[in-house]
Structure 1
Amino acid sequence: MTFERRIFNFSAGPSTVPEEVLKQAQAELLNWHGLGTSVMEISHRSKDFMAVYEEVLHDLRTLMNIPDSYEILLLQGGGIGQNAGIPMNLMALGKNGPKADFLVTGIWSEKSRQEAEKYGVAHLVASSATEQFNTIPARDSWDLSDDAAYLHYCSNETIGGVEFPDTPEVGDRLLVADISSNILSKEMDISKGAVWFGGAQKNIGPSGVTIVVVRKDLLGHSMKITPSIWDWGKQAANQSMVNTPPTFSIYMAGLGFKWLLKQGGVKVIEQRNQEKANLLYDFIDQSTLYENRVNKVYRSRMNATFFLRDESLNDAFLSQSKAAGLLALRGHKAAGGMRASIYNAMPLEGVIALVEFMRDFERRA
């Protein structure tokens, strides 16, 4: 099966990358900046790569409007790695020993809580597990601790398709936000959180680099057991180069940031993302075959989950959608159903093509 054009890739991650970015990387692959070599082949401490590194930080700070009081770290290990790195760097700030609060709204925030249990008390503030993670617990039901070092939450649950519409208000508590799957998809007030972190493989570029935005006053509080590679203070002091950084992923992230700036920045891309999500959800809501089970207030603009009311049609739907050039619509194995991830790089045309296919499939079912 071949296509004259690129397919529309709805994968949850690694996910689609802007074609313009891929073409630039392709053109520069063998001879980057006239050096006769690839960017991935030069020293990470060379003048040429350090220029890339500094520009990546500058562009990300511009796109996210990150204050100077925050450090930007470019690390490895993904969000899973930071599930350990965060408690090792912050949990010791608990008033009565290592402790953190966790708001569990899906599989990823629960994974974060379970990992943190290795380093101290991981207190469950609230959970929507009994609602199959189709909503976010009401604010007045949260059992917040007075002695926890921070409150951890996942801004967008990739598997369940649940997203916080706004940053939670938690008073003077330190707020840690996992923004792996909605980073740069909408405007966020960085000053409302102490730590913002996420992998690059959804809205930025290929996997490999993990972004941690942390208030500078929170550096230097790591536990004694913290490996150097997870110690934010040491990484900040060494330009995120305690070990060899993922140079090609950083370069690709930089191309992604340039592309986003060219589109008009986060404010413009947020409007596009809302348009794409509205188009898909509006169709699902009027359908007799498809359904979305997430509370409408908390539907993700990045990961639209849906189910066929007649699940005996699932295999036919997936095989026919793939033949139509619509890839990776199967839902996560833990959730079932279908999932269309419509990150920044997914064009409106891709969502239109998906809706047209879904409409035609429903007509023929």
Structure 2
Amino acid sequence: MKLLKNKKIKQTLGITLMVLSLSMTVEAKPFSETPTSHSVMTNLRTSVDAPVYTSSSLSTRGTENPYKEYSVAEIWPTDYFELLEINGDAIKVRYGTSSGDKIGWIRTDAVFLNSSSAKVDHDFTAQAKVTTYRRPGGSSYGHIATGDRVYYIATSGEYCQVLYNVGSASNPTGYKLAFVTVSDYNKIKGQPSSPEDTNSNVTNRLNEIINSQVGTTHRDNSYGLGKQCYEYAHKVFNDLFSRGVTVVGSYNSNSKYYFGRYTSSDVTRVGLLEPGYGYDALNNLFDQAQPGDYIQMQRSTGNLNPHSMIVVSVDKNNNTINVLDANSDGRNTIKTHNFTYQQFKDKNRGVSIYRYNK
């Protein structure tokens, strides 16, 4: 189905919508009200060939205006359309054809994540900066900044689908449709999560990272911190807590097992054990550790090198700790390790733990 070249809805998108698997950018169109019924979002695309129907019942193929029943009415992923109304499992759209504009209905799940709850609603100003994702559990797509205008779409599992502005909230250059974790959605709404909810969300995200990255090789040096354990631990920590590209802390030659040079203001040191520490002290420190905590330590052998890792879980009953790191083998391999407290003590002469405190 070809569009008229001179139609507004044919204007170029920054990024093509691929909902359910990707995100989108749409042309900026200021909203005078919450964009629910009868509000328009321009320049959207479907992710699949979407049959068009004459009404929200989705029973008869064709168009509502002008009314015409015909079995081949559809919108292709290459076609742009305007969203006019959301009505449960159906959305009302206007799209261009070689014979003029048509208005009809397509399935909501051709555009949005969860047709049973999809609605462009709950517009609010973001109260925190959080990472957005192209798809649930996928790669990062960008971020929502404090002060951005955000529109809630739907929730599925541990993720929410949201629409937010590109450029300034007062004068946006476009909009993105993307995903944020439920925990981060609470942050941008200004609703604090309970410690139990936070730990659960961190654990879920850690499991996603482990499932997709363990066994691969860490080669990224986008932070300029070296393609090794220190940079990888930073990337995981910042991903878990939506910190952007921000240094957790830095050590010097005399403080390889703790951040003696600098510690970020949004990070708290849980504890520090100097060389010569005892088993009971380590037992007490690890019993305080939580998923997502950052461990900085110094080896006991060889060149007494520093090492960085992220806490995955702690088993207080069996005195074991499970961690995620890179380059423990000298080849930048991403791995998980399960140490008894004694095994850890035997390998490391000094250790500290840091926690995100926002």
Shorter-normalised TM range: under 0.3
Relative to its length, the structure with more helix (as a share) is 1
Relative to its length, the structure with more strand (as a share) is 2
Q: TM-score, normalised by structure 1?
A: 0.22
Q: TM-score, normalised by structure 2?
A: 0.22
